[in-house]
Amino acid sequence: MISPHFFVNSLLEAGIDFFAGVPDSLLKNICAYLKDNVPEERNIIAANEGAAVGLAAGYHLATGQIPVVYMQNSGLGNTVNPLLSLTDEEVYNIPVLLLIGWRGEPGKHDEPQHVKQGKVTIPLLNAMGIRNMVMAAEESALATQLDEAVTYMNATHRSFAFLIQKGTFSDYQLQSSSPSPFTMSREEAIQTVAGSISDEAVIVSTTGMISRELFEYRAHNGMGHDSDFLTVGSMGHASQIALGIALQQPQRPVYCFDGDGATIMHMGSLGIIGSMAPKNYTHVVFNNGAHDSVGGQPTVGFRINIPMVASACGYRSVTSVDNIDALRTALQEKTDGPRLIEVKVKRGARKDLGRPTTTPIQNKEALMEKLKMKD
């Protein structure tokens, strides 16, 4: 394994000292080390991976130095446009060192949403003309690879990608995390909201812990899952899936269970929801100020006013709560949508939290059967 200290110091010695990206579980030890040891202005956790490429390009324009962009391969799609129309050698020819967590690596078991991504990661990089290699798991071999990558980028100004396999980096525990000021758990809040809605309502839940906790709530109570669409991938798009359903079935209550990281990732979607003004739409944002599913790296969720943003985008009702009693009161209010309820919760999840036992296709088909029964 490679120690995060060795890896980051090797980059710094090569003159690479700017980092931007979206955290990934395979990179969580590197992300934690960066958070503790690199100033915030040189390690920016971006809204999404494409935005990170933009940040990297701006850094290079200002300094002439090579930046780093880190991500899970599921976020590679967000980078395709700026990598091809901004940094590509046929456009502005800006070098970026890409660190990509290789989820769904062929031959290794992973969750269904990662399998296709894993298969196409290398072909996609090759199609974009981005030179790439699997990062070595030994420090001596890595030193040779880094030298090759830096020499290539300095000579050509082209981007270079390292694919990071599971277990490449040794453990590093985040030291700079501050205690959460909130006592309500996300799982408790999810159970409260899900337990308050009518039988005809549907829930579209975002990727990560939120969908897992919703699934376990249903299973624990002997309930079916046909009212829920568990968006196991497509981070940041659950709100638009929910909008698509709400517009076609305006008499059915539709809830989006979102996270702060997912909401921020594609925040422009709030403007579309507000402009379409579906009266049956409730957007519940569980805000813990962190990318909880991939290591707990911080978001800007507590630095911005999400309800105020939603209000400015045209939501008819917005509120923020941080305890169960206030959440129950907010849920009882009878107002037309779109409405947003921000639920501030503490970080973390149960260590024994399971995963959905149904496949994505089974989930889709069960929900579609329910949606055929229009009110």
User: Exposed/middle/buried for 181, CB within 10 Å: 0-12, 13-18, 19+?
Assistant: exposed
Bridge-partner residues for 256, per DSSP? Answer: 204, 283
Instruction: Look up residue 300 and give its two tokens.
Output: 């800007």
Contact 53, 28 (CB under 8 A): no
Phi-psi region of 224 (alpha: psi -120 to 50; beta: other; left: phi over 0): beta
Helices 49-63 and 76-85: angle between axes, nearest 10 degrees: 40
Spatial separation of the C-alpha atoms in residues 211 and 235, rounded to whole Å: 12
CA–CA distances in Å: residue 13 to residues 147, 276, 331: 11, 52, 54
pLDDT score recorded for residue 64: 98
Strand pairing partners for 43? 19
Length of the chain: 375
CA distance 295 to 213: 17
Which residues, 6+ apart, have CB-to-CB distance to 324 below 8 Å? 184, 188, 189, 192
3 state SS of 326:
helix
List per-residue pLDDT tens for the chain, 375 residues long.
Answer: 999 999 999 999 999 999 999 999 999 999 999 999 999 999 999 999 999 999 999 999 999 999 999 999 999 999 999 999 999 999 999 999 999 999 999 999 998 889 999 999 999 999 999 999 999 999 999 999 999 999 999 999 999 999 999 999 999 988 877 788 899 999 999 999 999 999 999 999 999 999 999 999 999 999 989 999 999 999 999 999 999 999 999 999 999 999 999 999 999 999 999 999 999 999 999 999 999 878 788 999 999 999 999 999 999 999 999 999 999 999 999 999 999 999 999 998 888 888 899 999 999 999 999 999 865
Class of residue 39 by CB neighbours under 10 A (exposed 0-12, middle 13-18, buried 19+): exposed
Contacts 24+ apart (CB under 8 A), 305-313: 306/260, 306/263, 306/340, 306/342, 307/340, 307/342, 309/267, 309/270, 310/270, 310/274, 310/283, 310/338, 310/340, 313/270, 313/271, 313/273, 313/274, 313/275
Listed in sequence order, the DSSP H helices in 27-138 are 28-37, 49-63, 76-85, 112-127
pLDDT at position 375:
54
* pTM for the full predicted model: 0.94
Place of tokens 């305890």: 323
> Can you say how many angstroms the Cα of residue 360 is from the centroid of all Cα atoms in its chain?
19
Nearest-5° Cα angle at 227, 222 to 231:
105
Report the C-alpha gap between 241 and 138 in whole angstroms. 43
Give the CA radius of gyration of the chain: 21
Contacts of 105 (CB under 8 A, 6+ apart): 118, 165, 166
Instruction: Single out the residue of 360, 358, 362, 324 nearest to residue 343, CA to CA.
Output: 324
